[in-house]
Amino acid sequence: MGKAKDWGIPAGLLLLSVVPILAGSVRLAQLASGGVTAENARFFGSPLPGVLHIIAVTLFSLLGA
């Protein structure tokens, strides 16, 4: 009986993590494709910190702390 309730909070947190993971995936795709615009040019000058941040946020969102 209590099994479904036990998964409610973790499932909700994973659902909330979908937005930043999708946004990070879009940003990584932009970096990979080379779509430089005036708004995102700063990311192309030094992409490593942004890429590492996106990977870290994705892992933290999925695995937690």
- The region of weakest confidence among 4-13, 25-34, 55-64 is 4-13
The residue type of 37 is T
pTM (global) more than 0.85: no
**Buried/exposed code over 9-22 (b: 16+ C-beta within 10 A; e: otherwise):** eeeeeeeebeeeee
Residue 30 has pLDDT above 80, yes or no: yes
Residue 2 has pLDDT above 70, yes or no: no
> What residues contact residue 58 under an 8 Å CB cut-off, 6+ apart?
20, 21, 24
Band the pLDDT of 59: cuts 50, 70, 90: very high
- What number of residues does the chain have? 65
